[in-house]
């Protein structure tokens, strides 16, 4: 088969793949019967979910008891969705919002249970009967219940072990003797509990009847009462009887987290609508499509046929990301969209790095085929290093973070892995397809002009001075805000809490946008609005603490005048921030550990601490500059703030790695007459076009989001735009220069 025929069949395959992705995307968007983009789970901000309010049975719980209960409920809620939000309401209530959930009763049944688990003798040595048979279950097996009060058993020595003796719990399945699948929870016991369990099973083996049984009692119910056939001394046990793997995993989660410090009762449960509304999702999708089209046009104009190959590769990339999000059941929220934007930017960046290298090789007189081979080879290290550093950060954020942090890390991690594959494999394959079809002239790929050396080192101190001045201005602005408002930043509801107002309307329910405008005019602060499905009510949340003597009276009066709502149909509660102290600590530790891990990787990979130190310094610089924008513009700091900062960190480190990779390459090839200063200046100059083009392609999507998006989307896109520009500036003007200053100082000290 000649090359043109081979290229024809390759092109036909590419067309079929792209057409299949396009058809799947269209049908998946239009029809519920085809799994596609419509089946991606959306967070509470984009799609709504279940909202449950619990109240402590204890009349005067302490603040510590409430906070501990909130923390454990947060962990339980995350078993349903990583994006779940839990907050305090008043002194005795806790509100739980679980995105994507549609069955409030099913959530109620599992979420608020006490979580107490005990292993009890069926009958004690003294002959006291603890359990009795109560009919049969649906499978025809005997069903057992407690024969006497659990409180008595806990006092008279009937209990073998309890939840405090369990160190781990996992939901698993296995094939039974009959071939049927059994779902169960495997427990790992602590050493003291393992010894007591081994002694108990050894005694039970020698007995008969109920004495041969150990009952597993969960929340007052006997969930299992198996016969003991052998001494169990391995420090493990199992709970059988789960109807599905999901049920087993949920039970394992509750057991692993432990009992709630307080007994709770559910006082209300609602299916709530999206806080951002359908308009936010629609405009985000439109902005994404427009941004993608603009990126493709830009790539084709600048890089010609390689740009066309990259555009086709990006279509395959998007299809693969959607498929993986469906496979891993990812919940997409606004912070998750940030992770997608960053990963798309990195996917484009990998192609830009490759194409820049190819153009450089063509400039030396090599044939397109040879230039492609060498270009992909030389670009590999920069792509791998840049993506792995960001992947390290995503991994740490997923393991240490919680809530929206995990959602961001998941979408980012998926995007990074797919982007490396599409850039290194798919784009290469498509480019060789074009070559086989006769696209073999250098002009079709673009030939790089020699990069003009710019003396960045000469102006390095000026760059550092400008950055230093902006950082000082940031701290000054934070102090000014603290003095005038009491907070260094304009914290939103997620951080500081406020008030929740539930309003039941007598007539037509107003839209979210109408209610936001109305409430903000009365209260004087930003609000979020969500509808309660199946009722004629809206929930309005604000950072203002409403009281009957002040703003609340004005709000009730305004509702009565405009909508005819009586005071009895307005319920108010003080709420805490959904981002708890534990979640903030998780976020801080996740970022710190991720930064340290990235520093260590860069240090090992580039064999020089100066690389790592200058890269991390640039990261801190970018974060502080964006913080300055938040402080000056009074942009609301909510859960999207964390995602925005993490996006900037990932973007900045990737751009820095590309420059460091070129410095390392040029240092290895430098001649005796070359100075280190010239090497650094050449390296930054040679990668300048790549830095600018990558920033432009990423900014295209973000700017379209900023123009078309609703206000909450815009408030997220503005600092992200500043962060991308700042990250490009720090990578080009600061990191290389700072590395040069550190390296020369270290060399002088060693000399």
pLDDT at 633: 85
Residue 681 phi, psi (nearest 5):
-60, -45
Tokens of 621: 């610089």
Q: Which residues pair with 42 in a beta bridge?
A: 332
Q: How far apart are CA 398 and CA 640, in angstroms?
A: 16
Structure tokens at 593: 């550990």
CA 482 to CA 565: how far, in whole Å? 38
Predicted local confidence at residue 64, as pLDDT: 81
The answer to whether residue 739 sits within a structural domain is: yes
What pLDDT score does 114 carry? 61
In a shared domain, residues 203 and 315 = no
Please write down the long-range contacts of 506-512, taking CB distance under 8 Å and 24 or more positions apart. Answer: 506/536, 506/563, 506/564, 506/565, 506/569, 507/563, 507/564, 509/536, 509/537, 509/538, 510/538, 510/563, 512/273, 512/275, 512/277, 512/538
Q: Strand 527-533 relative to strand 537-542: parallel, antiparallel, unpaired?
A: antiparallel
Distance CA 95, CA 45 (A): 16
Strand partners, 575: 89, 498
One domain for residues 344 and 302: yes
Q: Are residues 428 and 467 in the same domain?
A: no
Residues 308 and 435 in one domain: yes
> How far apart (Å, rounded) are the C-alpha atoms in residues 134 and 400?
45
Phi, psi torsion values for 486, nearest 5 degrees: 90, -10
Identify the pLDDT of residue 403.
63
Count of CB atoms situated within 10 Å of the CB of 156: 13
pTM for the complete prediction?
0.69
| CB contact at 8 A, 718 and 634 | no
How many other CB atoms sit within 10 Å of the CB of residue 380? Answer: 18
Give backbone dihedrals phi and psi of 342, rounded to 5 degrees, phi first.
-65, -45
Residue 593 domain boundaries:
460-476+580-750
Assigned domain for 83 exists? no
> Residue 223 and residue 681: Cα distance in Å, rounded?
70
Measured distance between the N- and C-terminal CA atoms of the chain, rounded to whole angstroms: 63
Q: What is the mean pLDDT of each run of 10 residues along the chain (751 residues)?
A: 70 77 69 65 66 81 81 76 73 78 64 74 86 79 85 85 81 73 82 87 84 82 81 79 76 72 74 57 74 86 87 86 79 67 74 86 86 88 84 79 70 84 88 84 77 86 90 91 84 75 82 80 78 75 72 80 82 67 68 81 84 86 89 80 75 82 84 80 88 84 77 75 88 89 80 64
Distance CA 717, CA 348 (A): 19
Residues 475, 544 contacting (CB under 8 angstroms): no
Whether residues 652 and 718 share a domain: the answer is yes
98 contacts: CB under 8 Å, gap ≥ 6? 44, 49, 50, 51, 52, 77, 80, 81, 84, 107, 111
Alpha helices (runs of H) in 328-457, residue ranges in sequence order: 334-363, 368-400, 404-421, 427-436
If we measure between CA atoms, which residue out of 703, 725, 728 comes closest to residue 714? 703
Domain count, the chain: 4
Residues belonging to the chain: 751
Dig out the tokens for 613 from the structure.
């130190």
Q: Coil, helix or strand for 640?
A: helix
What CATH number is associated with residue 526? 3.30.70.260
Task: Tokens 């405090």: give the residue.
Answer: 164
Kindly give, in sequence order, each residue whose CB lies less than 8 Å from that of residue 135, ignoring residues fewer than 6 positions away: 142, 143
For residue 718, tell me if it sits in a domain.
yes
Stretch (H or E) spanning 532: strand 527-533
In 3D, which of 307, 317, 365 has the Cα closest to residue 343? Answer: 317
DSSP assignment of 315-338 equals HHHHHHHHHHHHHTTPEE-HHHHH
Q: Are 277 and 43 in contact (CB under 8 A)?
A: no
Rounded Cα gap, residues 227 and 127, in angstroms? 17
Q: Is residue 562 classed exposed, middle or buried when 0-12, 13-18 and 19+ CB atoms within 10 A define those classes?
A: exposed
Exposure string (b/e) for 210-235, b if CB count within 10 Å is 16 or more? Answer: bbbbbbbbbeeebbbbbebeebbeeb
Structure tokens at 296: 């493709």
Cβ 45 vs Cβ 333: under 8 Å: yes
Are residues 618 and 469 both part of a single domain? yes
Residue 482 lies in a domain: no
CA distances from 22 to 29, 291, 306, 319 (A): 11, 17, 21, 9
Of 575, 608, 635, the one marking the end of a domain is 575
Q: Are residues 427 and 343 in the same domain?
A: yes
Same domain flag for 552 and 660: no
Please tell me the predicted confidence (pLDDT) of residue 469: 92
Q: Output the domain CATH number for residue 170.
A: 3.30.1360.200
| H or E element in which residue 135 lies | strand 131-136
Cβ atoms of 125 and 81 within 8 Å: the answer is: no
Q: What is the CATH number of the domain that holds 607?
A: 1.20.1640.10
Q: Is there a single domain that holds both residue 158 and residue 239?
A: yes
Asked whether residue 481 is domain-assigned, the answer is no
Of 540, 558, 575, which residue is a domain's last? 575
Q: Is residue 353 within 8 Å of 379, Cβ to Cβ?
A: yes
Contacts with 592 (C-beta within 8 Å, 6 or more apart), sequence order: none
Who's near 359: CB < 8 A, 6+ residues apart? 371, 375, 445, 446, 447, 448
Clarify whether residues 532 and 608 are in a common domain.
Answer: no
Give the three-state DSSP class for 221. Answer: strand
Residue 89 lies in a domain: no
Q: Is residue 182 part of a domain?
A: yes
Residues 6+ apart with CB under 8 A from 380: 424
Q: What is the 3-state secondary structure (H, E, C) of 141-202?
A: CEEEEECCCHHHHHHCCCEEEEHHHEEEEEEEEEECCCCCEEEEEEEEECHHHHHHHHHHHH
563 and 671 both lie in a single domain: no
Q: How many Å apart are CA 314 and CA 415, to the nearest integer? A: 11
Domain boundary residue, one of 575, 592, 608: 575
- State the sign of the Cα–Cα–Cα–Cα dihedral 580, 582, 586, 588: positive
Are 553 and 683 part of one and the same domain? no
Residue 657 located in a structural domain: yes
Largest Cα span, the chain: 95
């Amino acid at each position: 088969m000649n090359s043109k025929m081979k290229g024809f069949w390759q092109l036909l395959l590419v067309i079929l793949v792209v057409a299949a992705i396009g058809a799947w995307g269209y049908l998946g968007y239009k029809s519920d019967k085809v799994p596609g983009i419509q089946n991606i789970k959306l967070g509470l901000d984009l799609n709504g979910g279940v909202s449950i309010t619990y109240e402590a049975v204890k009349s005067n719980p302490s603040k510590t008891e409430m906070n501990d209960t909130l923390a454990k409920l947060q962990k339980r809620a995350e078993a349903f969705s990583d994006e779940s939000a839990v907050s305090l309401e008043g002194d005795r209530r806790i509100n739980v919002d679980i995105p994507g959930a549609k069955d409030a009763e099913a959530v109620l049944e599992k979420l608020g249970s006490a979580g107490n688990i005990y292993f009890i003798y069926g009958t004690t040595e003294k002959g006291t009967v603890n359990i009795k048979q109560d009919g049969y279950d649906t499978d025809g097996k005997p069903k057992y219940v407690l024969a006497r009060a659990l409180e008595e058993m806990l006092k008279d020595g009937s209990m073998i072990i309890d939840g405090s003796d369990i160190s781990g719990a996992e939901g698993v399945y296995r094939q039974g003797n009959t071939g049927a699948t059994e779902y169960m929870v495997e427990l790992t016991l602590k050493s003291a509990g393992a010894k007591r369990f081994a002694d108990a099973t050894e005694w039970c083996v020698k007995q008969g009847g109920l004495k041969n049984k150990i009952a597993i009692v969960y929340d007052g119910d006997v969930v299992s009462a198996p016969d003991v056939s052998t001494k169990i001394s391995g420090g493990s046990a199992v709970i059988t009887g789960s109807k599905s793997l999901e049920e087993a995993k949920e039970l394992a989660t509750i057991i692993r987290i432990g009992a709630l410090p307080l007994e709770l009762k559910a006082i209300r449960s609602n299916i709530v609508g999206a806080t951002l509304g359908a308009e936010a999702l629609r405009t985000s999708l439109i902005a994404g499509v427009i941004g993608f089209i603009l990126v493709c046009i830009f790539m084709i104009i600048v890089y010609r046929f390689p740009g066309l190959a990259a555009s086709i590769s990006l279509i395959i990339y998007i299809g693969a990301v959607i498929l993986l999000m469906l496979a891993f059941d990812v919940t997409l929220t606004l912070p998750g969209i940030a992770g997608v934007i960053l990963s798309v930017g990195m996917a484009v960046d990998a192609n830009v790095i490759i194409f820049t290298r190819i153009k450089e090789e063509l400039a030396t007189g090599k044939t397109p085929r040879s230039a492609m081979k060498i270009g992909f080879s030389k670009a590999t290290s920069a792509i791998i290093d840049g993506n792995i550093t960001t992947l390290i950060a995503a991994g740490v954020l997923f393991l240490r973070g919680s809530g929206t942090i995990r959602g961001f890390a998941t979408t980012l991690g998926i995007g990074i892995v797919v982007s490396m594959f599409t850039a290194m494999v798919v784009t290469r394959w498509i480019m060789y397809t074009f070559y086989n079809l006769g696209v073999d002239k250098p002009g079709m790929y673009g030939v790089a002009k020699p990069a003009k050396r710019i003396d960045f080192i000469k102006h390095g101190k000026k760059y550092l001075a400008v950055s230093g001045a902006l950082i000082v201005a940031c701290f000054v602005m934070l102090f000014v805000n603290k003095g005038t408002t009491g907070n260094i930043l304009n914290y939103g509801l997620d951080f500081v809490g406020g008030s929740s107002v539930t309003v039941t309307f007598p007539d037509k329910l107003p839209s979210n946008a109408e209610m936001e405008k109305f409430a903000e005019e009365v209260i004087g602060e930003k609000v979020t609005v969500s509808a309660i499905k199946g009722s004629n009510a809206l929930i309005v949340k604000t950072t203002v603490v409403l009281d009957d003597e002040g703003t609340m009276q004005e709000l009730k009066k305004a509702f009565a005048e405009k909508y005819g709502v009586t005071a009895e149909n307005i319920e108010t509660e003080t709420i805490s921030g959904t981002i708890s102290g534990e979640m903030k600590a998780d976020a801080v530790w996740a970022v710190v550990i991720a930064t340290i891990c990235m520093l260590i990787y860069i240090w090992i990979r580039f064999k020089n601490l100066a690389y790592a130190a200058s890269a991390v310094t640039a990261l801190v610089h970018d974060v502080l500059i964006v913080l300055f924008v938040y402080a000056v513009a009074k942009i609301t700091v909510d859960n999207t703030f964390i995602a925005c900062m993490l996006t900037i960190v990932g973007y900045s480190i990737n751009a820095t790695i590309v420059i460091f990779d070129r410095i390392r390459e040029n240092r290895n090839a430098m001649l005796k007459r070359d100075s280190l200063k010239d090497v650094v200046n050449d390296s930054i100059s040679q990668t300048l076009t790549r830095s600018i083009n990558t920033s432009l392609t990423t900014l295209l999507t973000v700017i379209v989001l900023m123009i078309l998006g609703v206000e909450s989307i815009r408030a997220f896109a503005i600092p992200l735009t500043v962060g991308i520009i700042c990250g490009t500036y720090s990578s080009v003007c600061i990191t290389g220069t700072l590395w040069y200053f550190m390296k020369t100082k270290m060399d002088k000290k060693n000399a």
